[in-house]
């Protein structure tokens, strides 16, 4: 497995390895200081970024490398250079490439041409780095993943899809409560359900938030309006998602020891109330911090060719 483009690329053994590596980097963050010695990792960001940009830069630095952040206006793509040409050139200088952009097709084209590992740092369809950090956070808090249910409430976009896929591969129960028309793509749901059948987990879709959070160990949500959503759709999205706000009342239907998670940035008073996200049950800042060891783990595993991936 050369690249990490989506959570569905991973096997159960791959996830176990990544979580083990990430836990190791939590306790010994500079335990592989020469892996990227004297090498660069370009980080291409066509979208704004706080956690991904900084955690990736820190991860590359801790592995001994130099992160180089570039945007659309700093390369020749807007002057007509093709993605494959750009990939080949970048790959001749770099140890790996990290990309955050809109189109999954663009990332796939980059990975197909690049001679070095490519990591998807968020597209319209996927956010695999976030999913690895999320499972690391759940494992860190509860001690294990199996036997726990994640209830995702809100828009079934890229974060929900990657979380669903990763949780199913790991053998967890995952329930998504979304408004009609806001569920993840059918093929993603079918993949996750098949993986859950193999791993001993379960995947459930519903339109009812209360039903989703019953017996849940984790209640998870994301912003209602994502980067790239058309302005003329925003009002309709907010109206459709309003019944899916996570508040203390909804949290009261989850397990007594349930925690709250959010990939950030958050809009208090919209998808989640301030009482929940700033309360004692919130793990959002632990979750954000875990983006760093999770990214170290992904880069380390790819660069040392330890991920088997799906054939």
Can 130 be counted among the known catalytic residues? yes
Q: Is residue 20 among the annotated active site residues? A: no
Q: Which of 130, 139, 287, 296 is catalytic?
A: 130
Gap between the Cα atoms of 56 and 61, Å rounded: 8
CA pair distance 19, 32, nearest whole angstrom:
16
Cα–Cα dist 195/169, whole Å: 5
Task: Tell me whether residue 51 is one of the annotated catalytic residues.
Answer: no
Q: Is 291 a catalytic residue?
A: yes
212-235 core/surface letters (b: 16 or more CB in 10 A; e: else): bbeebbbbbbbbbbeeeeeeeeee
**What 8-state DSSP symbol labels residue 305?**
T
Active-site hit among 51, 100, 237, 262? 100
| H/E element, 43 | strand 40-45
Residues 6+ apart with CB under 8 A from 64: 32, 33, 34, 35, 36, 37, 38, 39
Q: Which of 222, 245, 262, 287 is catalytic?
A: 222
Active-site hit among 51, 53, 62, 127:
127
If 0-12 CB within 10 Å is exposed, 13-18 middle and 19+ buried, where does residue 210 land?
middle
Question: Which residues are annotated as catalytic?
Answer: 100, 127, 130, 222, 263, 291
């Amino acid at each position: 497995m050369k690249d990490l483009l989506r959570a569905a690329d991973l096997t159960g053994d791959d996830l176990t390895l990544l979580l083990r590596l990430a836990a190791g980097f939590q306790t010994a963050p500079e335990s592989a200081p020469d892996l990227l010695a004297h090498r660069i990792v370009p980080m291409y960001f066509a979208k704004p970024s706080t956690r991904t940009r900084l955690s990736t830069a820190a991860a590359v630095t801790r592995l001994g490398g130099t992160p180089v952040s570039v945007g659309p206006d700093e390369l020749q793509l807007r002057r007509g250079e093709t993605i494959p040409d750009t990939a080949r050139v970048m790959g001749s200088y770099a140890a790996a490439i990290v990309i955050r952009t809109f189109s999954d097709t663009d990332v796939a084209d980059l990975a197909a041409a690049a001679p070095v590992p490519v990591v998807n740092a968020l597209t319209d369809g996927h956010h695999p780095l976030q999913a690895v950090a999320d499972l690391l956070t759940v494992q860190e808090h509860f001690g294990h993943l199996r036997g726990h249910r994640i209830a995702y409430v809100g828009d079934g976009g890229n974060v929900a899809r990657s979380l669903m896929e990763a949780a199913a591969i790991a053998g967890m129960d995952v329930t998504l409560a979304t408004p009609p028309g806001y569920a993840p793509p059918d093929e993603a749901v079918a993949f996750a359900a098949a993986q859950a059948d193999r791993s001993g987990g379960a995947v459930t879709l519903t339109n009812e938030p209360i039903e989703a959070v019953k017996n849940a160990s984790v209640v998870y949500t994301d912003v209602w309006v994502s980067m790239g959503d058309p302005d003329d759709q925003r009002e309709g999205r907010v109206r459709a998602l309003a019944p899916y706000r996570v508040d203390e009342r909804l949290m009261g239907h989850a397990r007594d020891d349930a925690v709250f998670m959010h990939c950030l940035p958050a809009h208090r008073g919209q998808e989640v109330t301030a009482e929940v996200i700033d309360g004692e049950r919130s793990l959002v800042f632990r979750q954000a911090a875990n983006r760093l060891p999770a990214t170290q783990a992904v880069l380390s595993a790819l660069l040392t060719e330890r991920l088997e991936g799906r054939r």
